[in-house]
């Protein structure tokens, strides 16, 4: 039986934007832009439809991009995104404030 043992680089910073995207920075220098807009209004993502909640609750939990909706720092109750999904996104290069 083959063993698949790929390790995704660590996420070191997440920066949420009011347009419902998040800049995700990995330790190896890769930067991706995760767009939540297609998920808004669906399932657990309904809680992120308010831009203030989206920005204020965004952080790194469970070693990945997450939203601490209950604001209790409980890793079991956050909305988080698989880090492999994030790392698979296209590298966007250096992001500049706009």
| 78 touches 66 (CB < 8 A) | yes
Q: What is the CA radius of gyration of the chain?
A: 14
Question: Starting from the edge strand earliest in sequence, which strands make up the sheet with 79-80, in order?
Answer: 58-61, 64-67, 79-80
Longest pairwise C-alpha distance within the chain: 50
Q: What are the per-10-residue average pLDDT scores of the chain (98 residues)?
A: 65 98 96 97 94 97 96 95 96 67
Q: Please report the domains of the chain, with CATH numbers, ordered by start residue.
A: 11-87 (3.30.2020)
Question: What is the model's pTM?
Answer: 0.87
**pLDDT on residue 93:** 74
């Amino acid at each position: 039986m083959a063993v698949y043992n790929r390790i995704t680089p660590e996420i070191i910073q997440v920066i949420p934007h009011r347009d419902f995207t998040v800049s995700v920075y990995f330790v190896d220098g890769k930067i991706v832009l995760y767009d939540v807009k297609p998920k808004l209004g669906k399932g657990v993502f309904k809680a992120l439809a308010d831009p203030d909640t989206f920005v204020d609750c965004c952080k790194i939990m469970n070693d990945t991009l997450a939203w601490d909706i209950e604001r209790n720092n409980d890793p079991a109750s956050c909305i988080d995104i698989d880090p492999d999904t994030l790392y698979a996104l296209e590298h966007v290069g250096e992001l500049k404030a706009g």
